[in-house]
Amino acid sequence: MLFFRQSRALATSFRTLATTATHPADVAKPRILVTGSLGQLGIGLVSLLRQKYGNENVIASDIRKPSPEIKAQGPYVFADVLNMQQLETIVVDNDINWIVNLSALLSAVGEQNIDKALAINMTGFTNTLELARRHQLRIMCPSTIGAFGPTTPRDLTPDLTIMRPTTVYGITKVHVELMGEYYAKRFGVDFRSLRYPGIISSDTEPGGGTTDYAVQIFHSALKEKSYKCYLGPETSLPMMYLPDCLEGTVDFLAAPNHLLKQRTYNMAAFSFNPREIAAKIKERIPEFEMTYAPDFRQAIADSWPKSLDDSKARQDWGWKNKFDLDAMTDDMLTALKSHHK
Ligand SMILES: NC(=O)c1ccc[n+]([C@@H]2O[C@H](COP(=O)([O-])OP(=O)(O)OC[C@H]3O[C@@H](n4cnc5c(N)ncnc54)[C@H](O)[C@@H]3O)[C@@H](O)[C@H]2O)c1
């Protein structure tokens, strides 16, 4: 009952995002809570947000113990997205304006832990979305190419198309998109989501996705001069270098509402398959050899797009990648050489 009274009050005090230019979360110096901040994307995103908005204004959080270096960089709290009361206390006590929810189980790990993936990716997300409604926050939760499925058109997949994913990860991300858009329309919540492709990073470990091979291959090329790939040679997937992903996400978070014509956007940089990335590495490390032993991740990759149409993100809020495949390959090898000396 209380829920419905509060909802009605909010519904009348907000107008929908489509008709209003400003939102209570449109603040120049936001206080930001990042959940799942110790993962592949979170460490770099927190650091970039702190450069833009100030160290003290970005609260990092996760359910893991941070390293002393991470702790020294700025505020860190323990936050489990499944614990609504704990999350709400953090939001209220820290005057949070924006939540970036990065907590998730990714595609390959999710297939091995269905219950946990459903809990973290759906219940955990719903908790943060509900907090955004109660406290008039901006909320950003990434989606993925994994939200598409085998019946989706696979080349230059548009923003709006068939979405019948065949992994638990994909199903939970369709839930994120639909519930976020529902809360935006119904309650005026400033929900935003980007469908990331596979993300390639030099300084953080990937968390168990189907595209992790594109990071592992660089480490193996430098260490062992060889790599056994769990996807077949012709499996093309959309990919992006982490610095582009992070800069784009910071820009998207800061974009004024009137520029956003939709709440969920495709975001892409380039596509390649294992044979093509192996060839790029071989141009730079001639001894490198690739072998192939496809496992259960092949079926997941085969259900995903080969390339994305992200023209709406480019038009509406100015998304632009800096790194292409060659620039990313050079940068990865340079950055990783010091790790493998
Ligand atoms: N990395 C990619 O290639 C990629 C691609 C597409 C979308 N995404 C999305 O981007 C987001 C971040 O991905 P990532 O690669 O950094 O993932 P990751 O697996 O590296 O990190 C996820 C973090 O969530 C934390 N976490 C797990 N359970 C939690 C809980 N109950 N409460 C709070 N935190 C919890 C983990 O400890 C971990 O640090 C996810 O939503 C993911 O779906 C990532």
Supply the pLDDT for residue 21: 55
39 CA to centre of ligand 1 in angstroms: 6
pLDDT tens-place string over residues 184-193: 999 999 999 9
Ligand 1: which of 102, 129, 139, 199 to mutate, most ligand atoms within 8 Å of CB? 102
What mean pLDDT, rounded, does the chain reach?
Answer: 94
Say if residue 5's pLDDT is above 70. no
- Give residue 117's domain range: 30-199+239-266
Lowest mean pLDDT among 22-31, 37-46, 74-83, 176-185: 22-31
Based on the fold, state whether residues 171 and 221 are members of the same structural domain.
Answer: no
Per the domain annotation, does 317 fall within a domain?
A: no
CB 40 within 8 A of CB 204: yes
Cβ(127) – ligand 1 distance below 6 Å: no
Based on the fold, state whether residues 56 and 160 are members of the same structural domain.
Answer: yes
Say if residue 8's pLDDT is above 50. no
Supply the pLDDT for residue 230: 98
Based on the fold, state whether residues 258 and 292 are members of the same structural domain.
Answer: no
Say if residue 110's pLDDT is above 90. yes
Distance, in Å, from the CA atom of 273 to the CA atom of 129, rounded to the nearest integer, reads 36
Average pLDDT, integer, range 60-75: 97
What's 328's domain CATH number?
Answer: 3.90.25.10
Per the domain annotation, does 101 fall within a domain?
A: yes
Cβ(305) – ligand 1 distance below 6 Å: no
95 CA to centre of ligand 1 in angstroms: 24
Based on the fold, state whether residues 38 and 66 are members of the same structural domain.
Answer: yes
Based on the fold, state whether residues 112 and 127 are members of the same structural domain.
Answer: yes
From the alpha carbon of 80, which atom of ligand 1 is closest? 32
Catalytic residue among 169, 183, 196, 213: 169
Say if residue 85's pLDDT is above 60. yes
Per the domain annotation, does 115 fall within a domain?
A: yes
Per the domain annotation, does 68 fall within a domain?
A: yes
Per the domain annotation, does 228 fall within a domain?
A: yes
The CA R_g of the chain, rounded to the nearest whole Å, is: 20
Cβ(64) – ligand 1 distance below 6 Å: yes
Q: Rounded to the nearest 5 degrees, what angle is found at the Cα of 321, between the Cα atoms of 320 and 327?
A: 155
pLDDT tens-place string over residues 299-326: 999 999 999 999 999 999 999 999 999 9
Based on the fold, state whether residues 231 and 249 are members of the same structural domain.
Answer: no
Cβ(107) – ligand 1 distance below 6 Å: no
Supply the pLDDT for residue 22: 81
Say if residue 341's pLDDT is above 90. no
Supply the pLDDT for residue 340: 77
Ligand 1: which of 41, 65, 81, 300 to mutate, most ligand atoms within 8 Å of CB? 41
Based on the fold, state whether residues 126 and 188 are members of the same structural domain.
Answer: yes
Q: What one-letter code names the amino acid at 162?
A: I
What's the Cα-to-Cα distance from 167 to each of 112, 148, 179, 213, 314, rounded to whole Å?
Answer: 11, 10, 18, 18, 29
20 CA to centre of ligand 1 in angstroms: 32
What's 82's domain CATH number?
Answer: 3.40.50.720
Sign of the torsion formed by the C-alpha atoms of 292, 298, 301 and 302: positive
pLDDT tens-place string over residues 172-220: 999 999 999 999 999 999 999 999 999 999 999 999 999 999 999 999 9
Has 196 been annotated as catalytic? no
The percentage of the chain sitting over the pLDDT mark of 70, rounded to a whole number, equals 94
Cβ(80) – ligand 1 distance below 6 Å: yes
Based on the fold, state whether residues 105 and 136 are members of the same structural domain.
Answer: yes
Supply the pLDDT for residue 130: 98
289 CA to centre of ligand 1 in angstroms: 31
In 57-214, beta strands by DSSP E: 58-62, 76-78, 98-101, 138-140, 143-144, 190-196, 198-200
Say if residue 70's pLDDT is above 60. yes
What's the Cα-to-Cα distance from 313 to each of 102, 137, 188, 193, rounded to whole Å?
Answer: 20, 22, 21, 11
Per the domain annotation, does 12 fall within a domain?
A: no
Ligand 1: which of 33, 40, 129, 131 to mutate, most ligand atoms within 8 Å of CB? 40
**Nearest CA owner, ligand 1 atom 9:** 142
Alpha carbons within 13 angstroms on the beta-carbon side of residue 120 total: 21
Per the domain annotation, does 155 fall within a domain?
A: yes
Based on the fold, state whether residues 134 and 186 are members of the same structural domain.
Answer: yes
* Domain count for the chain: 2
